[in-house]
Amino acid sequence: MTIFLCGFMGCGKTTIGEKLAQKLQCAFIDMDDYIEQKAGKTIPEIFAESGETYFRDLETQAVKDLAHEQGVISCGGGAMLREENAEIAKEFGEIIFLDVPFRTCYYRIADSDRPLVRKNTRQQLEDIYNQRNSIYRKHATYMIDASKSPTAAVTAIQEVLNFTEGFNS
C-alpha cells in the first residue's frame, strides 16, 4: 500500500517521509521531484510557462502513476486538495495530514522559490493555509500533530497505521 503525506508547504512532508520510509524499510518518493523529472522542468518553470492549472493536471497524473507504488509518498502541498486525487489515493492507500501551525510553515518557506510563495504575501499565504486546512482534514484518513520533532511525527504515524515493525502491504 501507499502512504500519502499531505499538508501545507513547509509542514515537513519530505523530511518526515524520508524518515518514515527508512524506519519502515520501504520506498520513498517525493511527488514534486517525480513531476519535475517527468516534465524535464522545475516546478517554477512549469508554473511560469504553462500556468497553475497545467501543473495541477500533472499532479493528478502523478497521483495516478504513484498510487500503485508500495511505500511513502510526500505529496506537493496542493496534491490532496482535488477530490479526484484524494479518491485515488484513498483507494490505494492512506492519506496522512501533517498538521503544523502556519507560522512554522511560513518560517521554513518564506525564502524559497515556490511559485505560490513568490506571488503571495504572508497574509495571503495564511488565508490559503486556512482555506486548505479543512480540505486536508476532510480528505485525510489520519491527522498527525507534526509540530514537534520529525521523529515524534514518524512514531505517531507508525502508531496510527499500526506499523510498529516492517512495512506490510
Residues that bind ligand S3P (CB under 6 A): 9, 13, 32, 43, 76-78, 114-116
Task: For ligand S3P, give the closer residue by CB, 32 or 99.
Answer: 32
Least spacing, CB of residue 169 vs ligand S3P, in Å: 25
Taking the complex as a whole, how short is the minimal distance between the CB of residue 62 and ligand S3P, in angstroms?
A: 10
> Nearest-CA neighbor of 97 among 80, 72, 116, 117?
80
C-beta of 35 vs 161, nearer to ligand S3P: 35
**Residue whose CB is less far from ligand S3P, 19 or 114:** 114
The minimum distance between CB 162 and ligand S3P, in angstroms, equals: 27
Rounded to whole angstroms, how far apart are CA atoms 124 and 36? 26
| CA pair distance 18, 95, nearest whole angstrom | 16
Burial class (CB within 10 angstroms; exposed 0-12, middle 13-18, buried 19+) of 168? exposed
CB of 166 vs ligand S3P, minimal distance in Å: 27
Terminal CA-CA length for the chain = 5
Helix (H) or strand (E) holding 16: helix 13-24
Question: Would you say 43 or 66 has its CB closer to ligand S3P?
Answer: 43
